[in-house]
Amino acid sequence: MALRAFYKCCGGLLSTRTLSSDPVSEFEGAFNKLYSINSNDALYLIRITLPVDPAFKTRSEVPTIAFLLANTTIPVPKFKAHSASTANDIGFECVLMERVPDATPIKDMWPNLSWNAKKKLVEDVADILGQLFNVRADAIGSIYQDKGSQFGLGRIVSMQLFWGDHVHLDYIPRGPFTSSWNWLHTHLQLLLRDCTTLLANSDGDNAKKEDALAAQSIVHRLLKLLPKIFPIEPEIFALQHDDLSRRSILLDHTGTLKAVVDGESTSTMPLYVCCQVPGFLQSTDREDKPDPKKYGVPETENSLYDEHLKDYELTQLRKYFLEYMHAKHPAWVKEYEGVGVKGEFEDAVRMCDDVWSVGEIDAWLDHAEG
């Protein structure tokens, strides 16, 4: 990618004279490509984004980062410039951000972290969740800024609403949603539409037809159950970072939390969605510490032992996380412990188009409907 194109998209903050090397590709995901840029005075990253939710994705993410920097102590990289349009020299939406020095994802450091470092990381992420939980809103949506730089909620940037051809369905509400009922009803209507489309295009594929009919049946049952669990009434919502994963949490060389990235879908959500154990702590439950002698080969050569050890450690750290939240953020824990059927319903909506989850959701619905 040409230096000149990068320069023009950086709003004049960089010039070809200050760039010390060509942009270097750092990462390529489903929607984004990330390039590093070295200038004479600083390190930068520029992220190129596919137009999955044209303009709105960038127009929301930039003020969301500004809001976090202004209203919390969560360490997020500063955005220096952006283009929410594809009408630029690159041809894609893009953002220029500061590159955080000495920062490595958890996934690349985990085996070498001390137990105390892992516990301190749990505390730091718990405090981040506590701060996000304290940002309250009266609707589900994404953060935007008006011309006067005032923050406010607007249509939500959500993968479920822009996936496939969903972004082009003008009749689908995009928010802000003032109740869980409105939000979940929109998701179920999209799923129902997808089932209808699949059935119309099954072309004699009986397996595909059976899967679509099974999902369609579940959606109808969820729609019938929706008003019983979620009456249309005012709710309180909070800010959620939906990707506190081992890739998005960065540590310095000492194992200390340095930055949180990948917040492009950060939005206000119902409290039963916000109050969940963060992704980087998720694993298979394992209560007993694995004994390397039982694995037949030296532990340094045994990936199964490493996997079981990580599961054991994460199981213990989940317990520590909840203990810490009880002590420091009891209001969060109260919501977490009261998630109940609302959280289960949201899980069912999120998973009902997964053929492997149909049986489990059917069983849950039998119980919930009874």
- Mean pLDDT of successive 10-residue stretches along the chain, which has 370 residues: 59 54 67 79 82 91 94 93 82 86 92 95 97 97 90 94 91 94 96 91 81 92 96 92 92 95 89 95 94 72 82 97 98 95 94 88 92
| pLDDT for position 69 | 94
- CATH code: domain of residue 53: 3.30.200.20
The secondary structure of residue 168, as a DSSP letter, is: G
**340, two tokens:** 């109940």
Is 42 domain-assigned? Answer: yes
| pLDDT for position 90 | 79
**295, two tokens:** 């694995």
Statement: the pTM of the whole predicted model exceeds 0.85: yes
| pLDDT for position 15 | 53
Residue whose C-alpha is closest to residue 105's, from 243, 307, 242: 243
| pLDDT for position 168 | 92
| pLDDT for position 11 | 55
**299, two tokens:** 């532990």
Is 288 domain-assigned? Answer: no
Which residue, chain included where needed, has tokens 């049946």? Answer: 217
Q: How many domains does the chain have?
A: 1
Beta-strand (E) ranges in the chain? 24-28, 32-38, 43-49, 79-83, 93-98, 104-105, 136-137, 142-145, 151-154, 237-240, 249-251, 257-260, 267-270
> What are the phi and psi torsion angles at 22 (to 5°)?
-70, 155
| pLDDT for position 304 | 85
Is 84 domain-assigned? Answer: yes
217 contact partners, CB below 8 Å, separation of at least 6: none
β-pairing, 267-270 vs 142-145, is unpaired
Is 11 domain-assigned? Answer: yes
Is 104 domain-assigned? Answer: no
Task: Find the domain containing 71 and state its range.
Answer: 3-98
Is 287 domain-assigned? Answer: no
- The per-residue DSSP string of 83-102 comes to E-SS-SSSSSEEEEEEPPSS
> What are the phi and psi torsion angles at 45 (to 5°)?
-125, 140
| pLDDT for position 323 | 98
Is 39 domain-assigned? Answer: yes
| pLDDT for position 347 | 94
